[in-house]
Structure 1
Amino acid sequence: MAAKNDVSIPVSDNRSEQERNQVLSTEADFDYSQRGQWLRAAVLGATDGLVSVASLMMGIGAVKHDVRAMILTGFAGLVAGACSMAIGEFVSVYSQRDVESAQIKRENSDESEKEALPNPIQAATASAVAFMLGAIVPLLAAAFIADHKVRLGVVVATVSLALVFFGWTGAVLGRAPVVKSCFRILVGGWMAMGVTFGLTKWIGSAGL
């Protein structure tokens, strides 16, 4: 009898530990999936603002050495991009809300499910703010540098660091591979700035 008791106790404990691990694993997966939507929107908005405005500034910097022209171009891109992001997100989320609201009405669901519907105004505001936070980086990097070549180099370096930071943040919070995430976002940003700079330089030199 004593031997049987000695054998059965650890088996029971092992099963309990496995069950706890499964619960913890399920909760962790649920948390990360819930993070997905807002994390994607925040990182995408900030990255879009960073790359779009930096590319605009690099493009104008390819044909003009005036810091004022770069700053005005970047600021115009910040305002236009933030408005575009906000409007696009508002329309998209409102359409999603209409679809979900209609489904709730068909199912005669309770008020708690109606309160859980996505908020278009919050989504639009979050997208606009995220875009502006990203767009302000190249503007601040170029604002206080008089030398044209140094200014372009500082913008590229600052934007590169910010891209790595955004890639690292998204990967850590989403539990994705950090190196791959940083590499993808960094190369994409370099390509956008390089293509914009090169094409604008070519068009400007061709006299078009």
Structure 2
Amino acid sequence: MRHREGHRSHHSGWLRAAVLGANDGIISTASLMMGIAAAQADSSAILLAGVAGLVAGAMSMAAGEYVSVRSQADTEAADLAREIHELENDVAGELRELEEIYVARGLERSLAHEVAKQLTAHDALGAHARDELGITDMFSARPLQAALTSAGTFAVGALIPLLVVLFHPAQYLSFAIVSFSLIALVLLGGLAAKVGGANTFVGAARVGFWGAAAMALTAAAGHLFGVVL
């Protein structure tokens, strides 16, 4: 019978990209719109700024995530190529290397040697990738997946303040943008904390605090430059 357990770390890759994307989408777009609103711009200008922020932000998130994760993938590929070369040219040395790893983890040397020997016979590259390099299928770099996830969740997050502008009266627009964006950020932070097994209240409060700070500073900058210009 196969043993199955639901570990939260299984979700860490996509969860990180999704939460960062949605969080940045809400904060950056809402902050941009608050800065424009504080400069006494009308609803059309605020909406235009939000749309531009959504498109530019989603592309920036996708590009940044892709480049970052692609670099990680290239490093992993280079390490694996080196391991393949070493396994082809120094089998005994690579076997000793695995043995020392298992000894360092607490196995007796005789058992460590037997484990290393059997794993090498079964899948030598897989054993070295996992136990020497720390590369597994679960945590291996997937640049395209990370880029698409970040861009998509950024766009979803950015839609929240945009919809507020579309469906809310102009006279209370700034208050509505802040309110709905903060509610969304708190819910997002709480959900991410719950899925990750962390304290829900702390996660929600942390995201809400930094979101409020970002919008307040951007609004202050918009008001200052609006007065100057």
Which TM bucket (shorter chain)?
Answer: 0.7 to 0.9
> Structure 2 length normalisation: TM-score?
0.73
1:182 corresponding residue in structure 2: 204
Asked if the contact 1:67–1:146 (Cα under 8 Å) also holds between the matched residues in 2, the reply is no
Asked if the contact 2:32–2:50 (Cα under 8 Å) also holds between the matched residues in 1, the reply is yes
| Higher relative contact order (Cα pairs below 8 Å, separated by 6+ residues) | 2
Map 1:88-99 → 2, pairs under 5 A:
88-99=64-75
**4+ long deviations beyond 2 Å:** 113-119, 144-148
Percentage of identical aligned residues: 42
- The Cα shift of 1:62 comes to 0.6
Unaligned runs of 5+ in 2: 85-124, 130-134
Task: Specify the SS of the correspondent of 1:188.
Answer: helix
2:115 corresponding residue in structure 1: none
* Alignment equivalent of 1:58, drawn from 9, 29, 34: 34
2:93 corresponding residue in structure 1: none
> Structure 1 length normalisation: TM-score?
0.80
Post-superposition CA distance 1:47-77 (Å, at most 9, x none)? 0010000000000001134111011000000
Map 1:30-109 → 2, pairs under 5 A:
31-108=7-84, 109=125
Specify whether residues 115 and 172 from structure 1 end up closer, same or farther in structure 2 by C-alpha distance, changes over 3 A only: closer
- The Cα shift of 1:115 comes to 9.9
- The Cα shift of 1:184 comes to 0.8
Asked if the contact 2:185–2:204 (Cα under 8 Å) also holds between the matched residues in 1, the reply is yes
1:64, 1:143 → 2: CA distance?
17
1:102, 1:190 → 2: CA distance?
43
RMSD: 2.0
Q: Match for 2:9: what amino acid?
A: S
Q: Match for 1:181: what amino acid?
A: G
Which range moved further: 101-110 or 170-179? 101-110
Task: Specify the SS of the correspondent of 1:176.
Answer: coil
Aligned residues: 178
2:211, 2:136 → 1: CA distance?
39
Task: Specify the SS of the correspondent of 1:64.
Answer: coil
Map 1:137-148 → 2, pairs under 5 A:
137-148=160-171
* Alignment equivalent of 1:121, drawn from 135, 144, 162: 144
Unaligned runs of 5+ in 1: 1-22
Task: Specify the SS of the correspondent of 1:129.
Answer: helix
